[in-house]
Structure 1
């Protein structure tokens, strides 16, 4: 299902393409951009779940894009350009997280984690870059995570994918500056009402970790329970930071999106390596 054109489309408004817009950060971001007068290409694997976004008006196009399906990427970009004439900003938001010890996941699950979080973002970016280069302008916002800054147990695969996304984004930023295209990284922590945790819980229930880890997992879960209790931000808060990154007109690279992870980010980036590692090891010490 693709939403139909309307006379509300503005040819002078800027246009953003957002992946993973059916729930959570993506949905909130699409709503915010639409309210702010942008044309919005809200993409998702199943467009039938985007009825609420399609109802926002003619400046919102809801269309299919599965980051693991190259043909759907090309089709979504073509549909967006046909509808609005130009795409100014890309928000690579689609992603998910595997939760559990590394040994509990198959090689297929490892590849799926990277296919979505890393290769998916790369493929959407690659497909849109010729259009942006032709205009010598554009902004790419990659939604990372606190787990792209510091490593945590139980999410080693998710962390690896976000570390990769951060490195790719930083390196790409230097290349694309020569083409007038900005790259931004947004780093959220946990929020109180996203569907992200639901998928992580489902994936964790399918993992089969060796029993040797039972004691460690029990201790780590207590730490994560404490981290979850500190979550105060919402998807709307993260959307505000994504919008700032897309529209502030600066060459700033990184944006911290939620304050719950600020202490860990500060420890990782502003203390010595020895002090940081000692703190993390004491936090997740084996029980």
Structure 2
């Protein structure tokens, strides 16, 4: 039987590439997004349906899931990909913007899962893959809000994985490093920079230079899509899949160094004063 996958946040970047990749590899695909008119990259794919879904809008989630069942009869795989980041120092970031990031990256995932899990449970099982970040392995300056949403998502996903295993639902976390997508363009638009506190300027200059070096190892959306497919369809109950594009050294340091050594390593990557 042909399996059906629903993915959130698929208007561009990794979401669009992943929807296309799964469709090309035999899945029925429900590609969801807040604005379906932005789905030009997915036009003309026979076994792919574009549906509106806003992770903050419960009615749109329920409607998208019902459209999935009406068209394909079942749901086998849910990929929670919708999310965005914010750059800037914490001191100058409006609390409303921080709440918005959590509303999408954390509560949005929970909102979708609470409505999809009953479908999977009634069917006798299925798979959920939540797209996290290597930023859930280590902290990064000027990205504290985004990073904290991914740490929250990781804790939630790992905890819920044990619950859902009792319902024959496999839950997975995919942790990518740098990706060449419009994600960073949106994050840059939400950049609060130094928060009008010029004392951060020298530090942010160092940080921006370090981040630019990390970006040199970023992966294409198509490569990420292939890796997500491999993780979602490997037939195991493995929880975490780390794909550290461009940040291999940071992942290695976090995993292999003790805390004092790791902290010295990270402070050297992001010095507080001019080099």
Q: How does the TM-score come out when normalised to structure 2? A: 0.96
C-alpha displacement of 1:129: 0.5
| In 2, Cα distance between equivalents of 1:20 and 1:174 | 26
Picking from 7, 31, 41, the partner of 1:18 is 7
- Give yes or no for the alignment of 1:119 onto 2:119: no
Counterpart mapping for 1:1-16 below 5 A: 12-16=1-5
Question: 2:227 aligns to what?
Answer: 241
Question: 1:282 aligns to what?
Answer: 268
C-alpha displacement of 1:204: 0.7
C-alpha displacement of 1:274: 1.3
**Root-mean-square deviation (Å):** 1.3
Q: Could you tell me whether the CA contact under 8 Å between 2:16 and 2:41 is conserved in 1?
A: no
Unpaired segments ≥5 residues, structure 1: 1-11
Deviations 1:188-228 (A, max 9, x none): 11123x10011011111587341121111111111111111
Counterpart mapping for 1:37-56 below 5 A: 37-56=26-45
Question: 1:267 aligns to what?
Answer: 253
Unpaired segments ≥5 residues, structure 2: none
C-alpha displacement of 1:182: 0.5
| In 1, Cα distance between equivalents of 2:14 and 2:196 | 30
Picking from 76, 79, 82, the partner of 2:64 is 76
Q: Could you tell me whether the CA contact under 8 Å between 1:241 and 1:255 is conserved in 2?
A: no
Question: 1:224 aligns to what?
Answer: 211
Picking from 202, 205, 212, the partner of 2:199 is 212
Q: How does the TM-score come out when normalised to structure 1? A: 0.92
Question: 1:32 aligns to what?
Answer: 21
| Length, aligned pairs only | 273
Counterpart mapping for 1:18-167 below 5 A: 18-57=7-46, 59-167=47-155
Task: Specify whether residues 206 and 226 from structure 1 end up closer, same or farther in structure 2 by C-alpha distance, changes over 3 A only.
Answer: closer
C-alpha displacement of 1:104: 1.9
Picking from 167, 171, 174, the partner of 2:159 is 171
Structure 1 residue ranges, 4+ long, deviating more than 6 angstroms after superposition = none
Q: Could you tell me whether the CA contact under 8 Å between 1:142 and 1:184 is conserved in 2?
A: yes
Deviations 1:87-122 (A, max 9, x none): 000000000000111112111100011001000011
| In 1, Cα distance between equivalents of 2:196 and 2:15 | 32
> Could you tell which deviates more after superposition, 269-278 or 197-206?
197-206
> Could you tell which deviates more after superposition, 21-30 or 221-230?
221-230
- Give yes or no for the alignment of 1:198 onto 2:188: no
Deviations 1:143-202 (A, max 9, x none): 00111111000100000000001111111111111110011111111123x100110111
- Name the SS for the 1:43 alignment partner: strand
| In 1, Cα distance between equivalents of 2:196 and 2:163 | 41
